[in-house]
Structure 1
Amino acid sequence: MQAGEAGAKPVQGAALPLDNVVNLRDLGGLATRDGRRVRAGKLFRSGNPACASAADLALLRALRLDMVIDFRSSGEKSPQERAFGEAFRWVATPVLEGSMSMAELMPRMLGGSPAQMEAFMLEVYGDFPRKYQAAFGGFLKAAEAGGNLLYHCTAGKDRTGFASLLLLAGLGVDADAIMANYLASNHWNRDFNARMSARAAEGGVDPEVMRPLLEVKAAYLEASLHAIERDYGGMPAYLADVLAVDVRRLREAYLAE
């Protein structure tokens, strides 16, 4: 897999611009190694959709979502999100419980350096396949049902990015296309990242220290891939033997001829 520039314009993944929901993309159109493509209008990834505007909610309802999977922990949520839960089948599948709350991250950033924050993110990605098998395996088992599925975390880049790696690998999407889809978060989250950086700066955090937490890097996803290869013998074995995923069902549900 090749690294892309942080601000590079993505070449894959159809974005759906909303008022209050960042990084919402349809995975439809991504090509598989055997020449098929992911069906459009079936699989969506995004940042937190729960504070959607009225217009956003109308668009999301038009997607006819069967399920929304939320990788955030309880500490990342707010009471204002209740209306979204009443509108959709919203399933909590927490990953990194406590680790991504501002109460946890702020002391790290105030006392840390950019290199330390990057090391933290590499550790997080290395932990994804080891420590969160139940959450990500449950996500993929839900996908096997073949419904219209939206999955998200806060910014739609790290937990959602790893989930996309697993899902797209199971569908047989080319490795370079998976990486390009992952790195595209830097483009779609550009304004969101600027707002988050400015807010953190008001609290005394150096924007350069926060940058490794806001951006995605090829090295992050590669840390997950290295862990899967080293500890489990590669992606096919990890999906089949560790997560018990039926890739045949995934492909029947989500690939077009």
Structure 2
Amino acid sequence: RLLRSANPGLATATDIAQLQRFNLDVVIDFRTDGEKKSAETPFAHVFNWIADPIMVGNLSQLSVLSALQNGTADDSRAFMIAFYRDFPVRYQAQYRRFLQLAEKNHTILYHCTAGKDRTGFASLLLLSALGIDHADIIADYLESNRSNTTGNAQLQEQVKKLRLPKDVMAPLLSVEAAYLDAAQQVIDDDHGGMQHYLERVLGIDVARIRDNYLETI
């Protein structure tokens, strides 16, 4: 009932039929307008697709990659960590609205472009609200490294003209536990821990979310 995804907008008719079996109440799109394509219209006609963009631009934009042309893998990794540290501070409104959908017991597919960063942090909040162990949250997050290989290969082809070394690109295209842990550290240091952040900062009813999605044994 809660699905983390890369961009579903270019789904085939077969893909759409498969997604319809989930009886989705809402599809939340964290992408900005510049990341979208006109070819996504068929998907929009089928699902309740709501845009709630997070950040200006995205990691695949040439402006970001150009800035790293003369950088190192450590520079890319530092960029990602700083990026994740912004999530719990700058985008509280978007993540509050996302979790409010879970409060309402909706079946949700939520996505960005690659399904790993903006949705990765969304999953940290959602799974934490559900009481999932942090190690399991990290393991779920790291699954992107296995499932994004095709999309990453396509992106590498697009940015070949920038002549970025593969080791500089790798931290941008993959996920590392240190990225999500950087966001968690901000929550712990500045907001009194995850429970306080969810309930007091975002104003989320954690107990209601657990009642909605967890079975009592």
TM-score normalised over the length of structure 2: 0.95
Q: Given that residues 62 and 159 in structure 2 are in contact (C-alpha distance below 8 angstroms), is that contact kept between their aligned partners in structure 1?
A: no
Provide Cα deviations, 1:154-186, integer angstroms capped at 9, x if missing partner. Answer: 111011100000000000011111110011110
Give yes or no for the alignment of 1:134 onto 2:88: no
For the residue of structure 2 that corresponds to 1:151, the secondary structure is strand
Q: How many residues align?
A: 216
Alignment partner, residue 64 of structure 1: 23
1:124 equivalenced with 2:83 (yes/no): yes
1:248 alignment partner in structure 2:
207
Question: Could you say what the CA RMSD is over the residues aligned between the two structures, in angstroms?
Answer: 1.3
User: Match of 2:159, SS?
Assistant: helix
2:46 and 2:63 map into 1 onto residues whose CA distance is 31
Q: Distance in 2 between matches of 1:162 and 1:194?
A: 23
The residue that corresponds to 1:107 in the other structure is: 66
Q: Tell me what 1:199 maps to.
A: 158
Moved over 6 A (4+): none
Distance (whole Å) between structure 1 residues aligned to residue 86 and residue 111 of structure 2: 18
**2:164 corresponds to 1:164:** no
CA distance in 2, matches of 1:71, 1:205: 27
SS of residue matched to 1:44: strand
Q: CA deviation at 1:206?
A: 1.8
5+ residue gaps, structure 1, are 1-41
Does the CA contact (< 8 Å) of 1:75 and 1:101 recur in 2?
no
Does structure 1 residue 212 correspond to structure 2 residue 171?
A: yes
Deviation, 1:202, is 4.3
Q: Which moved more, 1:136-145 or 1:185-194?
A: 185-194
Asked if 1:73 corresponds to 2:47, the answer is no
Secondary structure (helix, strand or coil) at the match of 2:68 reads: helix
Which 5+ residue runs of structure 2 have no aligned equivalent? none
1:229 aligns with 2:182: no
Aligned partners of 2:159, 2:88: CA distance in 1, in Å? Answer: 30
Distance apart, 1:101 and its partner CA = 5.1
Identity of counterpart residues, as a percentage?
46
More helix by share: 2
Q: Which of 38, 49, 66 is the equivalent residue of 2:8?
A: 49
Do 1:50 and 1:81's aligned partners in 2 also have CA atoms closer than 8 Å?
Answer: yes
Q: What do residues 56-88 of structure 1 show as CA deviations (whole Å, max 9, x unaligned)?
A: 111011111000001111111111112211111
Q: 1:126 to 1:166 in 2, by over 3 A?
A: same
- Whether 1:182 and 2:182 are equivalent positions in the alignment is no
> What are the Cα deviations for residues 181-211 of structure 1, in whole angstroms up to 9, with x where unaligned?
0111101112222232233224422222111
